[in-house]
Amino acid sequence: MHTLSTVEKKYLLDSIREIEDFPKPGIKFKDITTLLGDEKAFNLLMDHLTNRYKEMHIDYIAGIESRGFIFGAALAALLKTRFVPIRKPGKLPYTTISEKYSLEYGVDEVTIHIDAFSMPNNQKPKVLLIDDLIATGGTATAAVNLINKAGAECIEACFVINLTFLQGDLDIKKTTSVYSVLEVD
Catalytic residues: 67, 104
- Cα(23)–Cα(25) distance, integer angstroms: 7
The continuous run of DSSP H or E covering 41 comes out as: helix 39-53
Listed residue (118, 111, 116) closest to 97, CA to CA = 111
Beta strands in 11-140 (DSSP E): 17-20, 28-31, 60-64, 82-86, 96-103, 106-113, 126-134
Strand order in the sheet with 177-184: 82-86, 60-64, 126-134, 153-163, 177-184
